[in-house]
């Protein structure tokens, strides 16, 4: 490639190679970190001191285009709206609306059309929000950049950058493009949004190995990351879609948009229902014609059966139940962006969680202080300077140990950051590590402001990567000299310390081996360890140099980590009890991930097993096939150094294994996996806009415990949806059976189509929808997750539906025939039959408050909406029976007490029959458990 380039002696040949799709492009893109800075500049025909000239910039802008992520077109608004109607259940409803309109029942037709329209509008609005994900990703890279062009430093929009531009970086800058660093001075970059690294990364311009993973490429700075400290200079090697952020944009667009388990099950249920309804209607028409009845009458009978079998209230019930779930989750700090996501959480079998900020507090916290061989532990988490510091196994004050006291003072005084209280939350302005040192000193009672007044800083040696330490000189309160404090890497500090401070304040020879053992023990717990030292300089000293950093007195060590959230530990345990497995997928180091996983109680196998979590890194999984990854993803609990591609592959592997996957994340690197997951969960406080737009749910408190609460709410939502379906289907089936029975027997229809619509619409709204407000049952988080492949209705529930349908058939058809036999008109007999249907539904509603328990176990008044709905239904049904206007519209007539007591008896009998069926099933289930326990080997029961 170099020979070709020198022959052409023009940048345009290089550009053509770079933009060409193929292996050469991949080779060039992947070699930047493995190429020396001088060679990179030469390849890009740039100059590290003068940059590009004007005409070269213009030519490259024309060739490469703007430094922005291109937005991909999708279906237009009209198409997106029309696609909302592309659902089998809505086909059924639209058919019902057309049929009712043909029957001149315009009010009912408008109601059904209204239900369909509301569902379509809600779906369209939710989908429109999701379409903004790529736009948000593009916005994250729009900023200004300081570049060297024509030998001058200029500020230009980041969109105008081209490959070969020389960019200057300083603290506070957002990196505008992918850069190969040419020079750096103490440069630190926060790459957490891209890689998941929990602390800023030190950057250098050295050449790295070819196989160095993205998170460890110290000589590269990537678009959308943030400079937290120092200065640097780099040459642009990739812009727009060719950047790492651009690749993530590509992954987002390639991620599959999956149907939720609920939408899949509802769609399958609707297709089956549609086929059954059409077959029954056809059979009804054919049998009637075969028996010699008029074709028009048989057509109307078939229409009546179809209208009766269609559950018109189901879409409205689904929408309202999900909306109630959304409101409940909002109260528990979870904002749902897409309605079906509410139920998806309830069916989740695996939660893949990012570590930083979700399972942990995303605030570095000092956990251990080691001074003169004594270990102190600090309680509390984050930057809030409250907590206790106690000696391990002893209730001893830390300040009584002179070495520990000076260790804490060194961390506080040798510090360029500060903590501020903003909106009741402590935040760090500066380096997270220094914020942790300030917080732990505050727990010991030290005040940074007071110390700054008493011992003002006189001079500083800032941290430099080549020296690996920082030093500050302070005026001492006494006149014995000036105090020098030094903090830095353990090996560097130890090499400059011949002696150590003891707990009593004396000095003694430094035991380096003992310190190394202490460091290894702290590192094994995933702690990042810093060493602290100092000495007293003459009173006349006002300036310090690197020559003064020698013959130091060693104070001690401080070990820090981004600690687990206390509530996350309990939430993970609750998830495992509920049969939901939790996996950690992080961009952080394997050792840190392993330590956090142990503290959280992750296991990676079936919940309840106890063993050390296995950790797999991106490098470990680089050569695995998709089939191998499916098994690994299911068995392993912790994945470290995860790239966006690996996160996406892991989610797909778990889905291929049959899991319903919830994925949490906050960074740009999480967005593809968030979109691929069955439900993506983004962080509301620390999350990027890209992650929020790609997610289905946003946590307003960035807390994993909120996910556990949302899973509980999701299970409640699915429970209530199932209860509604189990309650409503017997009515539809019963109405159909009554029509079929009348056709086969050859008698008049016991109920008319308009009466069927009255039953279905009024009872669905006033009775069925009250189940959406049913509180969660106490044992909901003690159940295993639902099998994603199982249908909405189990065999037991289908049996119950058939049982209640037969009760309706016998009750309604028998009452109709009884009324005819008593000499009543067909209108009165039909009114009796309609009231039988309504009363059976009313009594059966109390059975459906729980699928397994009696309503007395739940509490009669635990859902006051039930009482309100029942009262409203009774008023409407009395109006249906006795108000003249209603009699004319619905072909009803007043009935006497001799009919009412039969109607009420049928309803009460239904409640008793279903209650007895529940009792039998509980007894049978208990018997099976007892038999299994008796059959178990001794000690295993």
Q: Considering only CA atoms, which of 283, 187, 177, 286 is closest in space to residue 235?
A: 177
| 773: pLDDT strictly greater than 80 | yes
Cα separation, 724 vs 716, in Å, equals: 12
pLDDT band with cut points at 50, 70 and 90 for residue 115:
low
Please provide residue 311's backbone torsions phi and psi, each rounded to the nearest 5 degrees. Answer: -80, 80
Convert the pLDDT of each residue in 94-112 to its tens digit. Answer: 776 787 677 666 766 776 6
220's tokens: 């590269």
652 beta partners? none
**pLDDT for the residue numbered 525:** 83
Residue 253: what pLDDT? 62
Poorest-pLDDT segment among 50-59, 267-276, 493-502, 532-541: 267-276
What CA–CA distance (Å, rounded) separates 360 from 565?
A: 5
Angle at 141 between CA 137 and CA 147, to 5 degrees: 170
Give the model's pLDDT for residue 875.
Answer: 96
User: If we measure between CA atoms, which residue out of 751, 662, 792 comes closest to residue 89?
Assistant: 792
Other CB atoms within a 10 A radius of the CB of residue 327 amount to: 11
- Mean pLDDT along residues 321-327: 77
Structure-token pair, residue 628: 């191998």
With beta carbons less than 8 A apart as the criterion, state whether 777 and 851 touch.
no
How much of the chain, in percent, has pLDDT values that exceed 90? 32
Closest-CA residue to 762 (of 847, 869, 836, 892):
869
**Is pLDDT above 70 for 691?**
yes
d(CA 455, CA 534): 15
**Who has greater pLDDT, 443 or 932?**
443
What is the reported pLDDT for 930?
56
Average pLDDT, integer, range 786-813: 88
- pLDDT > 90? residue 354: no
Rounded Cα distance, 775 and 717, in Å: 10
Residue 762 is predicted with a pLDDT of 86
Alpha-carbon dihedral 482, 487, 490, 494, rounded to 10 degrees: -10
Q: What pLDDT, in 10s, does the model give residues 609-651?
A: 445 668 898 888 888 888 999 999 999 999 988 888 888 899 9
Q: Which residue has the higher pLDDT, 300 or 41?
A: 41
Neighbours of 86 (CB within 10 A): 9
Q: 238: which residues sit within 8 A by CB, 6+ positions away?
A: 29, 163, 177, 178, 223, 244, 246
Residue 487 contacts residue 469 (beta carbons within 8 Å)? yes
Confidence bin at 256 (pLDDT 50/70/90): low
Confidence of residue 553 (pLDDT cuts 50, 70, 90): very high
Mean per-residue pLDDT, 10-18: 40
Is the model more confident about 73 or about 804? Answer: 804
pLDDT at 356 over 80: no
Backbone torsion region of residue 9, taken as left when φ is above 0, otherwise alpha when ψ lies between -120 and 50, otherwise beta: left
Burial class (CB in 10 A: 0-12, 13-18, 19+), 763: buried
Residue 678 has pLDDT above 70, yes or no: yes
Measured between alpha carbons, how far is 826 from 607 in angstroms, rounded to an integer?
A: 62
Q: What average pLDDT does range 753-780 have in this prediction?
A: 85
Please determine, for residue 375, whether its predicted confidence score (pLDDT) is greater than 80: yes
pLDDT at 829: 95
Instruction: Name the average pLDDT for the chain.
Output: 82
Predicted confidence band of residue 608 (pLDDT cuts 50, 70, 90): very low
Q: Is the pTM of this model over 0.75?
A: no
Give the pLDDT of residue 413: 94
Q: Which residue's structure tokens are 């199982």? A: 790
Whether 354 sits among the annotated catalytic residues: the reply is: yes
Neighbouring residues of 21: CB distance < 8 A, sequence distance ≥ 6: none
846, containing H or E segment: helix 826-847
**pLDDT per residue as tens digits for the range 735-764:** 888 888 888 887 888 988 778 878 887 898
Highest mean pLDDT among 7-16, 210-219, 635-644, 906-915: 906-915
The dihedrals phi and psi of 139, each to the nearest 5 degrees, come to -65, -25
Q: Residue 802: how many CB atoms within 10 A of its CB?
A: 14
Strands 482-488 and 528-537: antiparallel
CA-nearest of 528, 532, 605, 603 to 563 is 528
Residue with tokens 């056709």: 743
Nearest to residue 225, comparing CAs of 183, 189, 182? 189
Provide mean pLDDT across the span 783-802.
84
Half-sphere exposure of 170 (CA within 13 A, CB side): 5
| pLDDT 10s digits, 258-316 | 456 666 677 777 777 778 777 877 887 888 788 777 776 777 677 667 766 777 667 66
Cα 891 to Cα 923: distance, rounded to the nearest angstrom:
46
Angle CA(813)–CA(814)–CA(816) in degrees, nearest 5?
A: 65
pLDDT of residue 339: 67
Instruction: Tell how many helices (H) and how many strands (E) occur in the chain.
Output: 34, 27
Cα separations in angstroms, 562 against 229, 690, 698: 20, 24, 22
Asked if the model's pLDDT at residue 510 lies above 80, the reply is: yes
The two beta strands, 220-221 and 178-190, are antiparallel
Of the residues 178, 354, 562, 666, only one is catalytic, namely 354
pLDDT exceeds 80 at position 668: no
pLDDT > 60? residue 393: no
- The tokens for 351 are 């939660």
Distance between CA atoms of residues 197 and 181, nearest Å? 19
CA–CA dist 166, 49 (Å, integer): 8
Maximal CA-CA distance, the chain: 121
Calpha distance 922→940 (Å, rounded) = 24
The C-alpha angle 657, 660, 662, rounded to 5 degrees, equals 120
Alpha carbons 585 and 650: distance in angstroms, whole number:
9
Angle at the Cα of 841 (from 281 to 739), degrees rounded to 5? 20
Plot region of 685 (φ>0 → left; ψ -120 to 50 → alpha; else → beta): alpha
Whether the per-residue pLDDT at 225 is higher than 50: the answer is yes
pLDDT at 108: 61
State the Cα angle at 633 between 632 and 638, rounded to 5°.
Answer: 100
Q: Is the pLDDT higher at 798 or at 394?
A: 798
Joined together, the tokens standing for residue 638 give 């912790």
């Amino acid at each position: 490639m170099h020979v070709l380039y020198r022959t052409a002696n023009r940048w345009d040949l290089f550009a053509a190679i770079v933009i060409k799709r193929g292996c050469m492009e991949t080779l060039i893109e992947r070699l930047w970190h493995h190429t020396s800075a001088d060679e990179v500049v030469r390849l890009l025909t740039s100059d590290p001191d003068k940059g590009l000239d004007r005409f070269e910039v213009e030519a490259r802008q024309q060739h490469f285009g703007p430094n922005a992520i291109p937005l991909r077109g999708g279906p237009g608004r009209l198409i997106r709206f029309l696609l909302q109607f592309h659902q089998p259940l809505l086909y059924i409803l639209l058919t019902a609306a057309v049929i009712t309109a043909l029957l001149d029942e315009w009010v009912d037709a408008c109601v059904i059309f209204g239900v369909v329209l509301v569902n379509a509008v809600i779906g369209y609005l939710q989908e429109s929000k999701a379409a903004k994900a790529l736009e948000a990703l593009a916005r994250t890279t729009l900023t200004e950049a300081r570049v060297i062009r024509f030998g001058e430093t200029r500020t230009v929009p980041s969109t105008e950058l081209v490959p070969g531009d020389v960019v200057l970086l300083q603290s506070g800058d957002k990196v505008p493009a992918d850069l190969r660093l040419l020079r750096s001075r103490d440069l630190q970059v926060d790459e957490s949004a891209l890689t998941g690294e929990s602390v800023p990364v030190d950057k250098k311009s050295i050449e790295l190995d070819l196989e160095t993973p993205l998170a460890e490429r110290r000589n590269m700075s990537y678009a959308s990351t943030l400079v937290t400290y120092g200065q640097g200079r780099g040459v642009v090697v990739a812009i727009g879609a060719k950047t790492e952020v651009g690749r993530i944009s590509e992954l987002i667009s390639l991620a599959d948009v999956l149907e939720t388990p609920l939408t899949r099950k509802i769609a399958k249920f609707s297709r089956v229902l549609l086929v059954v309804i059409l077959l029954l209607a056809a059979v009804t028409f054919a049998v009637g014609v075969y028996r010699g009845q008029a074709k028009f009458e048989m057509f109307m009978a078939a229409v009546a059966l179809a209208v009766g079998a269609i559950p018109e209230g189901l879409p409205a019930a689904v929408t309202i139940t999900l909306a109630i779930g959304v409101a409940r989750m909002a109260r528990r700090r979870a904002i749902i962006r897409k309605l079906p996501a509410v139920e998806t959480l309830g069916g989740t079998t695996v939660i893949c969680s990012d570590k930083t900020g979700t399972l942990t507090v995303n605030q570095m916290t000092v956990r251990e202080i080691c001074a003169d061989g004594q270990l102190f532990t600090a309680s509390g988490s984050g930057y809030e300077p409250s907590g206790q510091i106690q000696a391990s196994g002893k209730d001893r004050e830390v300040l009584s140990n002179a070495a520990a006291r000076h260790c804490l003072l060194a961390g506080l005084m040798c510090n360029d950051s500060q903590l501020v209280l903003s909106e009741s939350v402590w935040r760090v302005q500066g380096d997270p590590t220094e914020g942790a040192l300030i917080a732990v000193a505050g727990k010991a009672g030290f005040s940074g402001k007071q110390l700054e007044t008493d011992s003002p800083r006189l001079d500083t040696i800032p941290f430099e990567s080549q020296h690996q330490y920082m030093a500050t000189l302070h005026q001492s309160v006494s006149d014995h000299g000036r105090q020098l404090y030094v903090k830095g890497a353990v090996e560097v500090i130890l090499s400059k310390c011949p002696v150590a401070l003891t707990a009593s304040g004396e000095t003694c020879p430094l035991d380096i081996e003992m310190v190394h053992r202490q460091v290894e023990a702290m590192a094994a717990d995933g702690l990042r360890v810093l060493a602290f030292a100092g000495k007293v300089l003459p009173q006349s000293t006002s300036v310090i140099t690197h020559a003064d950093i020698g013959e130091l007195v060693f104070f001690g060590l401080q070990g820090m980590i981004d600690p687990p959230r206390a509530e996350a530990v309990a939430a993970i345990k609750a998830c495992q009890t509920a049969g939901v497995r939790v996996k950690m997928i992080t961009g952080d180091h394997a050792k840190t991930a392993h330590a956090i996983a142990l503290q959280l109680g992750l296991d990676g196998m079936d919940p309840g097993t106890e063993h050390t979590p296995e950790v797999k890194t991106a490098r470990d999984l680089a050569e695995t096939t998709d089939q191998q990854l499916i098994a690994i993803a299911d068995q392993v609990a912790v994945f470290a150094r995860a790239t966006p591609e690996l996160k996406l592959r892991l989610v797909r592997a778990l889905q291929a294994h049959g899991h319903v996957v919830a994925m949490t994340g906050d960074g740009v690197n999480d967005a593809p996996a968030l979109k691929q997951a069955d439900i993506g969960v983004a962080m509301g406080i620390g999350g990027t806009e890209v992650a929020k737009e790609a997610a289905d749910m946003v946590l307003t408190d960035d807390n994993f415990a909120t996910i556990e609460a949302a899973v509980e709410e999701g299970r409640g939502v699915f429970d209530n949806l199932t209860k509604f379906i189990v309650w409503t289907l017997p009515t539809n089936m019963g109405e159909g059976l009554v029509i079929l029975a009348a056709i086969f027997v050859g008698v008049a229809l016991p109920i008319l189509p308009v009466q069927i619509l009255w039953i279905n619409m009024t009872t669905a709204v006033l009775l069925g929808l009250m189940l959406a407000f049913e509180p969660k049952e106490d044992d909901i988080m003690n159940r295993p997750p639902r099998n994603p492949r199982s249908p909405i209705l189990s065999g037991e529930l289908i049996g119950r539906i058939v049982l209640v349908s037969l009760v309706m058939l016998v009750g309604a058809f028998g009452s109709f025939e009884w009324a005819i036999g008593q000499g009543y008109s067909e209108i009165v007999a039909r009114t009796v039959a309609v009231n039988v249907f309504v009363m059976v539904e009313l009594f059966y509603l109390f059975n459906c408050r729980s699928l397994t328990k009696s309503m007395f176990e739940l509490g009669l008044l635990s859902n006051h909406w039930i009482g309100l709905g029942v009262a409203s239904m009774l008023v409407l049904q009395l109006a249906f029976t006795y108000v003249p206007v209603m009699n004319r519209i619905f072909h009803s007539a007043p009935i006497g007490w001799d009919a009412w007591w039969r109607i009420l008896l049928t309803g009460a009998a239904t409640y008793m029959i279903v209650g007895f069926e529940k009792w039998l099933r509980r007894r049978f289930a208990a018997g099976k458990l007892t038999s299994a326990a008796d059959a178990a080997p001794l000690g295993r029961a």
